[in-house]
Structure 1
Amino acid sequence: MIDAISFSNDTLHYLDQRYLLLREEYVSTKSHQEAIEAIKTLAVRGAPLIGVAAAYTIILGINSFKGSKEEFPLFFKTLIADVEASRPTAVNLFFASARLKQVYDDNFATDTIDVLFAKMNEAAKKIHLDEIANCDLMSRHGVDQIKIDLADILKKRKLNVLTHCNTGTLACCGTGSALGVIRLAWQEGLIERVITSESRPLLQGLRLTAWELQHDGIPFVSISDSSSAFLMQRGMIDFGIVGADRIAANGDTANKIGTCAHAISAYHHNLPFYIAAPVSTIDITIPDGTHIPIEERNADELRTIFGTQVAMPDTPVLNYAFDVTPGKFLRGIITDKKAVVGNYVEELKTLFGQ
């Protein structure tokens, strides 16, 4: 399996995803400022991976602390704020920071600094291990749901699946969310071919998903983001599955820009379209997608490709990183606990014991 992120000897190691496929560059750092910059610049990307990176970034930060216990609360508050400001949409980041804040709240009054830091280290490692395990659980639930929803087609032939952006090992630590489902479906003989849309402007589908599929020997073809409706019209796509950066309580889902167009096309053509994401991606505190903050990124990500100018330097640009797909366009949400279909408001609450 591709080792997208690891932590050892008080050092964060990660694959810089900005340069794939031009080169494979692994970076090691003990600096939490450098790790925050890696999250900001998408050297580390993908909602679950961002959560793991955020947890380890907090550990790097506390490892750099040299003051007294009385000085630590202000340092920790500033560190958490800096990490949380790195990417506003991916709720996994806030899930990770909340886990470590809880360790701090539960133990600061009674533990020494060394004991507190050891407990926080263990919590960060647990977040990482949980994300790996979550991928296997999502994959199983997703394949089981596909077998139910597409049983009639599977009696005749294998399936062609559309995916968007990158949701594999590079994004999730384990086998992946949506791509993890696809991998297991391929292993069980359900998939004929994967159709991966390019995912402008940073081409995560064309670069990263294609790279992972080729690595695994899974047949695929890449398309422009605007091609999926035409392929659905021609019967070349049987279903779609993507990941998520935040899911609201009603099933509205923020994911890589372009997802909503794919989902609406699938809905129009009566094709199942799924979200695959761990429960940590669900933000049960917000009622719908209008409350999800949508990151707007630097215009040069659109005006240039790998540093090559493809538009006039002063071209006005709106570069939103995500869009929000209304829950009504989804066939189901695949989580590590279960495949959720139907009434998202009630079903998603059950995942949190509500």
Structure 2
Amino acid sequence: MIDAISFTNGTLRYLDQRFLPLQENYVETRSHMEAIEAIKTLAVRGAPLIGVAAGYTVILGLQSYEGTKEEFPAYFDRLIADVEASRPTAVNLFFATAKLKDLFKAHYAALSLEALFAAMNAAAVEIHNDEIANCDNMSRHGVELIKQDLAETLKTRKLTVLTHCNTGTLATGGSGTALGVIKLAWQEGLIEKVITAESRPLLQGLRLTAWELEQEKIPFYSISDSSSAFLMQKGMIDFGIVGADRIASNGDTANKIGTCAHAISAYHHKIPFYIAAPVSTIDITIDNGTQIPIEERNGDELRTIFGTQVATPTTPVINYAFDVTPNQFINGIVTDKKAVTGNYSQELQKLFT
């Protein structure tokens, strides 16, 4: 059983994903600044898991507070701001901090700091438990959608699925979003094998998804990101499913850079392409993908691979961490509540009413 993150007796324990699959390095910390750095550096990554980590990071910050109750609001504001600045694209992070900010607003005046901290601790644990349950729900809804959309193919053979980046236990703390769907589909005999794109520049698909599939004993092949269109052309991929870091109210989806290219290729080859993400990933406050903030990371991530220089230090680099897939290239969005198809602007809104 992969233990991506846990919080016990005031200590956050996480698997440092930067060193996988060659080294399984578990880190324990009671410092909220160390936890923030873990999120920034992708030691902890994956939108749902970032939300879980954000909740626990705030709790670490509360544990170190030594001031008076009157001084606490200013400290809390700084703490939340530091956590929210760690990864600007993953909306799950802001979902977690919003939940804790709401608790503060509702109970600061009436509760002692000890009671307030206990309530926030319980809320952070609830965020984690909810993500585990969300993964199970998403897996069921995703498998139902696959059975429906690919019923004719399933009459004659099992399926080959393309995925990108990592969306399993390492990204969620539960069974996974897109990879959770894949795992359940494999268990139900729907899938023959998985094609996992390498996901440059940090290789989460090659390093992390491949590692998880090996743990689950699910047959797979890893490919370069640019190979998927050719494999679709050759009839080697039946459908694609990926996760999301933020989904706009019209269904436009931000995910790991390279996703949009896969989706456009799938659309051209008439292959279903799905998104799997919890409702907390949907940002109903924005109209479309142009309003999603896209993180641009240090160029050294592209110029180096695991510390080895593969380009000169002066090579100019554009290194966006995410791209946005327009909704017309998405056949369905699988959430923990239901699988959404059709008019995304209407159907996604219903999830919040």
User: One fold, TM greater than 0.5?
Assistant: yes
User: Structure 1: 5+ residue runs without aligned partners?
Assistant: none
Q: 2:121 matched to which residue of 1?
A: 121
1:201-216 matched pairs, under 5 angstroms: 201-216=201-216
Q: CA deviation at 1:22?
A: 2.0
Runs of 4+ with deviation above 4 angstroms: none
The CA deviation string for residues 203-223 of structure 1, in whole angstroms up to 9 with x for no partner, is: 000000000000000000000
1:160-239 matched pairs, under 5 angstroms: 160-239=160-239
**Distance of 1:235 and 1:93 partners within structure 2:** 38
User: Structure 2: 5+ residue runs without aligned partners?
Assistant: none
**Distance of 1:52 and 1:5 partners within structure 2:** 8
**Distance of 2:13 and 2:159 partners within structure 1:** 37
**Distance of 1:327 and 1:184 partners within structure 2:** 25
Work out the percentage of aligned pairs sharing the same amino acid. 76
Q: CA deviation at 1:313?
A: 1.1
**Distance of 1:251 and 1:39 partners within structure 2:** 26
Q: CA deviation at 1:346?
A: 0.3
Q: 1:288 matched to which residue of 2?
A: 288
**Distance of 2:49 and 2:329 partners within structure 1:** 26
1:1-354 matched pairs, under 5 angstroms: 1-353=1-353
The CA deviation string for residues 136-172 of structure 1, in whole angstroms up to 9 with x for no partner, is: 0000000000000000000000000000000000001
Q: TM (normalized to structure 2)? A: 1.00
The CA deviation string for residues 286-334 of structure 1, in whole angstroms up to 9 with x for no partner, is: 0000000000001110000010000111100000000000011000000
Give 3-state SS (helix, strand or coil) of 1:69's partner.
coil
**Distance of 1:218 and 1:150 partners within structure 2:** 20
Amino acid at match of 1:329: F
**Distance of 1:304 and 1:235 partners within structure 2:** 34
Amino acid at match of 1:140: R
Q: CA deviation at 1:283?
A: 0.2
**Distance of 1:142 and 1:148 partners within structure 2:** 10
Give 3-state SS (helix, strand or coil) of 1:43's partner.
coil
Give 3-state SS (helix, strand or coil) of 2:124's partner.
helix
Q: CA RMSD in A?
A: 0.4
**Distance of 2:64 and 2:310 partners within structure 1:** 42
Amino acid at match of 1:25: N
Q: CA deviation at 1:257?
A: 0.1
Q: CA deviation at 1:117?
A: 0.3
**Distance of 1:22 and 1:300 partners within structure 2:** 21
**Distance of 1:177 and 1:205 partners within structure 2:** 14
**Distance of 1:106 and 1:136 partners within structure 2:** 31
- In the alignment of these two chains, the number of paired residues is 353
**Distance of 2:313 and 2:158 partners within structure 1:** 46
**Distance of 1:202 and 1:44 partners within structure 2:** 13
**Distance of 2:231 and 2:301 partners within structure 1:** 27
Q: CA deviation at 1:21?
A: 1.4
